[in-house]
Amino acid sequence: MELGGKHVVVTGAAGGIGMALIERFHAEGSRVAACDMAIGAAEELVARLNALRPNSATAITADVSNEVGNRTLIAAAEASLGPIDLFFANAGVALGTGLETSEEDWHTAFNVNVHAHRWAAKYLLPEWLARGDGYFCSTASAAGLLSQIGSAPYSLTKHAAVAFAEWLSITHGDAGVKVSCLCPQGVNTAMLRAGDDPGAGPGSSVVRSAGRVLEPDEVAEAVIAGIQSEQFLILPHPEVLTYLQRKTGDYDRWLAGMRKLQARMINTQ
């Protein structure tokens, strides 16, 4: 897919990976909608992009944790940009630890990390299927292919995000709907840094020990390459594929190794 002149929507665009994606899509010549609850930061980003190329970017307040918010977001993006060519469901949350996690946090994690993808696709697909073209991208995580030590909600929801992307590709790939799923390990974002706080559990330490922590713009570069080649799995950390192959090659050995890693991380807390 060539991105010049395309209409691109990114959620969670006020910082981190989302902001880097908006900047990179814009640099490729796309018209972009930066969508976030933190509308002030999104508006600052858009003002900077429009100074480079007038009328090329718009900011949209978006609460993707419910169906109405997703429907409203897509309608607003279409009103501003025109038909959406590529939708990037990037917004995500990292909440909770084990089974003691509150029901409210469980619901929020599933709503933002999984159901937001489903709700967005619900309102995008009719037009995409009618014209035989559209691109759905989502940010999951290496945790969606492997697991996340220290957080049951993150592990479950990111696995579900990958599963939804797989289903979407299987079900509608032959009808012109392209799908990519971004699964990075550590990225230098507010989410990762929040996990460094005392008492946050071993999750952040595990991520940092697994490989190099990338900057958001490095992830965005990998995304552009993946989209241009229409690749399903986008892995900014190539070693994730090796870990996945080891997991599927010997599940019991992989689980034992993960338990050892968990014990090591807990002992170093």
Structural domain boundaries in the chain: 7-238
How far, in Å, CA of 164 to CA of 170, rounded? Answer: 10
In CATH, the architecture of 7-238 is: 3-Layer(aba) Sandwich (3.40)
Q: Do residues 136 and 175 lie in contact, with contact meaning Cβ atoms separated by under 8 Å?
A: no
Q: Do residues 122 and 233 lie in contact, with contact meaning Cβ atoms separated by under 8 Å?
A: no
From 141, 144, 139, select the one nearest 159 (Cα to Cα): 144
| Rounded (10°) CA dihedral 238, 242, 243, 245 | 140
Number of residues that this document lists for the chain: 269
What's the confidence (pLDDT) of residue 183?
98
* Terminal Cα-to-Cα distance of the chain (whole angstroms): 45
CB-based contacts of 153: which residues, under 8 Å, 6+ apart? 95, 96, 101, 105, 106, 109, 110
The 8-class DSSP code of residue 1 comes to: -
What's the confidence (pLDDT) of residue 198?
42
Indicate the average pLDDT of the chain: 94
| pLDDT, tens digit (0-9, with 9 covering 90-100), for 68-122 | 999 999 999 999 999 999 999 999 999 999 999 999 999 999 999 999 999 999 9
Residues of the chain with pLDDT under 70: 195-206, 208-210, 268-269
**Alpha carbon separation from 19 to 1, 64, 87, 122, 145 (Å, rounded):** 21, 17, 14, 25, 24
The 8-class DSSP code of residue 133 comes to: -
Number of separate helices (H) and strands (E) present in the chain? 11, 7
How far, in Å, CA of 162 to CA of 102, rounded? Answer: 24
How far, in Å, CA of 236 to CA of 253, rounded? Answer: 25
Q: In what order do the strands lie in the sheet with 57-61?
A: 57-61, 31-36, 7-11, 86-89, 134-139, 177-182, 233-234
Query: Which tokens hold the place of 72?
Result: 């409203």
Rounded to the nearest 5°, which phi and psi values hold at 95? Answer: -125, 145
Percent of the chain with pLDDT over 90: 87
93-96: long-range pairs with CB below 8 Å, 24+:
93/191, 94/151, 94/154, 94/191, 94/194, 94/195, 94/203, 95/151, 95/153, 95/154, 96/151, 96/152, 96/153, 96/154
What's the confidence (pLDDT) of residue 203?
53
Query: Which tokens hold the place of 114?
Result: 């999984």
Name the maximum alpha-carbon separation found in the chain. 56
What's the confidence (pLDDT) of residue 210?
66
Other residues' Cβ atoms within 10 Å of the Cβ of residue 267: 8
Query: With a threshold of 0.85, does the pTM exceed it?
Result: yes
